[in-house]
């Protein structure tokens, strides 16, 4: 059985926020969460902006505007 339990680190040990009976030797998976949460995810997204710009081909950007329409015409004809 897999159970998720919230908890915290009190400076010396990990303390579960819920009273859960564990057996000696029972295997656990402990995931450490970042205190900053959503702020870090937003910063990471902003930090990646423009990271692929070195691969951009300005000559192809004009074709991107009509790429879907061109693909449909190529596949199904001009109906």
DSSP conformation class of 28: -
Helix (H) / strand (E) containing 61: helix 58-64
Radius of gyration, CA atoms only, the chain? 26
Cβ proximity of 17 and 6 under 8 Å: yes
Provide the token pair at 52.
Answer: 């692929």
Give CA–CA dist 44/63, Å, rounded: 30
pLDDT tens by residue, 7-59: 888 999 999 999 988 899 999 988 888 765 555 666 666 677 788 888 888 88
Is-above-0.85 flag for pTM? no
């Amino acid at each position: 059985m897999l159970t998720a339990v919230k908890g915290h680190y009190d400076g010396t040990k990990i303390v579960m926020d819920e009273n859960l009976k564990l057996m000696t030797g029972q295997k656990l998976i402990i995931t450490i969460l970042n205190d900053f949460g959503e702020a870090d995810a937003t910063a990471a997204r902003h930090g990646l902006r423009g990271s692929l710009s070195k691969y951009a081909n300005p000559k192809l950007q004009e074709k991107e505007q009509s790429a879907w329409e061109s693909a449909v015409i190529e596949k199904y004809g001009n109906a």
